[in-house]
Amino acid sequence: MSKFEKVLKRLKTKPKDFSFTELQRLLQGFGYIEQQGAGSRVMFVNDRIQHKIKLHKPHPENILKRYQIDLVIEELKRKELL
């Protein structure tokens, strides 16, 4: 099982300790490119499928909130990537 597959499997379990670094790795595997916004805003863009995922980068810790994990899962399902 590749690192990408392991991170994808982990996301699907909705863990309480899913990190922003893991999210970056996962979305890069799907072809998204990270773009910085103002402050802690970040946008992941996939030009191939014309899709954007907008989030606030977690701080001071690197752990995503539950609603952010739910948002990412919902967006990936909407684009039939999950």
Residue 37 pLDDT: 87
Distance CA 9, CA 4 (A): 9
pLDDT tens by residue, the chain, 82 residues: 889 999 999 999 999 999 999 999 999 999 999 999 888 999 999 999 999 999 999 988 999 999 999 999 999 999 999 8
pTM comes to 0.89
Distance CA 16, CA 32 (A): 23
Domains, the chain: 3-78 (3.30.920.30)
What is the sign, positive or negative, of the torsion defined by CA atoms of 55, 59, 64, 66? negative
